Every structure is written in structure tokens, then in C-alpha cells.
Amino acid sequence: MKPAILVEGLSKAFVLRKTAPGIFGAFTSLFAAHTARFQAVESLSFSIYPGQKVAFIGPNGAGKSTTIKMLTGILHPTAGTAEVLGLVPWKARTALGFQIGTVFGQRSQLWYHLPSLETFNLLAKIYELTKSAYKTRLDELIGIFELEKLLDRPVRQLSLGERMRCELVASLLHKPKILFLDEPTIGLDLNAKMQIRELLNRLSCEHGTTLFLTSHDTLDIEKIADRVLVLDKGSIVLDSSLNELKSNYKDQAMEEIIQDVYAKSS
């Protein structure tokens, strides 16, 4: 089977401008700027197969968002290559856009003052869906995500959990083969988190959507993922199936397991 995501030696370095502290430092940096190279991601290699549910985790600054940005075509890598659904993301961003979905927990794609249905109608146009395909898909997603009563309410009147369900529907309208989720449960209460996890599992099970998830919530990892990629300081320090990881760390909570992986890597 051909991998949905294939990454080989992917690296990204940023050149950061350094400013000395204080007014004098700020002034001198205008004339003599000091720069430093920051290696955000270093030689990542992995492959993800269709239908897999992968948790891509790591501490803040580990390079998770940079990797997602490269895999969705937002950032160009410094070295290495990647293929997502057979396309090089940074060369074919628009074409890839039709085949992937993204949910960024802290960013909304819904129009704040309008009912979510209006955003769905707009996205159907953006993703160039035919009317019949859109209607069928929307009806299906409304059923899965239980949105019947929410469609006509302005987004500003929705709770965070309800909004996130709408965000997921917005990301799934065009039937993406891969869904990138960056902290999809951030800020949600326990019930809403459980609901989102159940819905993601149902989606993956019924439609075979590949899930690529980042989260700091270990329950997200336990309840959704079947494979775990741990990133630290720009490199992968663990690539394991969830079952294997659990059997290696008998009776330990996921949080302790992850802490142990970080400790070993440093």
C-alpha cells in the first residue's frame, strides 16, 4: 500500500534576528544585526498509511507545528522531501488543499456573526462541490455530528464544544483523505472532549480518514490514536503503536509514559 504521508530527511531551519537588551541594544541592532540559526525540525523520516490515526506529540517548541505547516504546504523545508497523497505539499499546495482538511483548535474558520450553515455553504463553493454532492455530504455530517439544532444559530451564540463540532464539519465537507488536527480539544470541557474523540473515531472507522493529531492532552492520544510519534528538539524520539507502547510500560499512565520518553530523549 502506498503511504498517505511519506517524509524523508525533512528539515527546517530558521534564521532568527537577535537584538541586544535595552534601548542601546535596540539602536545598535539597527546597524549591526546579529542573527542565529534555529533548527526547528531536523531530518524527520516517517510514513503514515491510509486510515491510520497518528498522534504527533512533543513538548512546546519541539517542531510539531512546523512539521504540520510543511506537510500542508505552508512552509518550504530547508532540506529533505515529503509527499502527501502523492503530492509535494509546498509545490502543489492548492491541489493538495482539495484533498486534506485542517482543524486548528485555537483558530476558527467559521464566520462569527452568521449561522454555521452560511460558512458551510461558502466552503462548498471554495472546495468546488456540486450542489448534490454538497447536500448529501452535509446531511451525512449533520447526522454524525448532531448539528440539526445548531445550524441556524449564529456562531457567536455557540458553546466552545458546539463550535468545535461545527469546525470539524467545516473541515470535512470536501471529504478530505487526511485530517490534520492541531489541538482539537483545547479549552473544551470533559463532556465536549469525549464527544469530539468519539466523533473522530467514528469518522475514521466509517470513512477511513487518516488522522494526524497533535495534542498535549494524553487522553486524546489514548482515545483516538493507534500510533504515536514523539518529537523532541526537532527529531523523532519514538515511533510506536499505542498498544506496543502500553505493553512496554505496564500499569503506567500515558502521562508518565510520555514523560519517560522525553526524559530518555534528553
Instruction: Note whether 93 binds another protein by CB under 8 A.
Output: yes
Total residues contacting another protein by CB under 8 A comes to 32
DSSP E strands in the chain: the ranges are: 5-18, 34-48, 53-57, 79-84, 100-104, 178-182, 210-214, 227-232, 235-241
138-197 binders of another protein (CB under 8 A) = none
> Is 74 a residue that touches another protein (CB under 8 A)?
yes
Integer Cα distance of 116 and 132 in angstroms: 19
What whole-number distance in Å separates Cα of residue 213 and Cα of residue 200?
11
Residue 174, all three cell numbers = 470536501
Q: Centre a 10 Å sphere on the Cβ of residue 139 and count the other Cβ atoms it contains.
A: 10
Amino acid symbol at 168: L
Q: How far is the CB of 240 from another protein (least distance, A)?
A: 29
Other CB atoms within a 10 A radius of the CB of residue 212 amount to 26
In angstroms, the Cα distances linking 90 to 69, 76, 85, 87, 93 are 9, 6, 13, 9, 5
Q: Which stretch binds another protein (CB under 8 A): 24-32, 41-49, 86-94, 233-241?
A: 86-94
Q: Binding another protein by CB under 8 A: which of 58, 73, 105, 161?
A: 73
CB proximity list for 191: less than 8 A, separation 6 or greater: 161
How many Å apart are CA 261 and CA 27, to the nearest integer? Answer: 44
Spatial separation of the C-alpha atoms in residues 142 and 149, rounded to whole Å: 10
Min dist CB 49 to another protein, Å, is: 22
Beta carbons of 211 and 204 less than 8 angstroms apart? yes
> Which of 3, 6, 14, 87 contacts another protein by CB under 8 A?
14
CB of 9 to another protein, least distance (A): 18
Smallest distance, another protein to C-beta of residue 263, A: 29
Interaction between residue 128 and another protein (CB under 8 A): yes
Q: Are 59 and 232 in contact (CB under 8 A)?
A: yes
Minimum separation from the CB atom of position 97 to another protein (A): 4
Cβ proximity to another protein: between 27 and 189 the closer is 27
Q: How far is the CB of 143 from another protein (least distance, A)?
A: 25
Cβ closest to another protein, residue 73 vs residue 184: 73
CB of residue 111 to another protein, shortest distance in Å: 6
104 binds another protein (CB under 8 A): yes
Interface residue with another protein among 87, 118, 194, 207 (CB under 8 A) is 118
Kindly tell me which residue out of 5, 100, 166, 242 binds another protein, with binding defined by CB under 8 A. Answer: 100
Binding residues for another protein, rule: CB under 8 A, are 12, 14-15, 40, 66, 69, 72-76, 90, 93-95, 97-98, 100, 102, 104, 107, 111, 113-114, 118-119, 121-122, 125-128
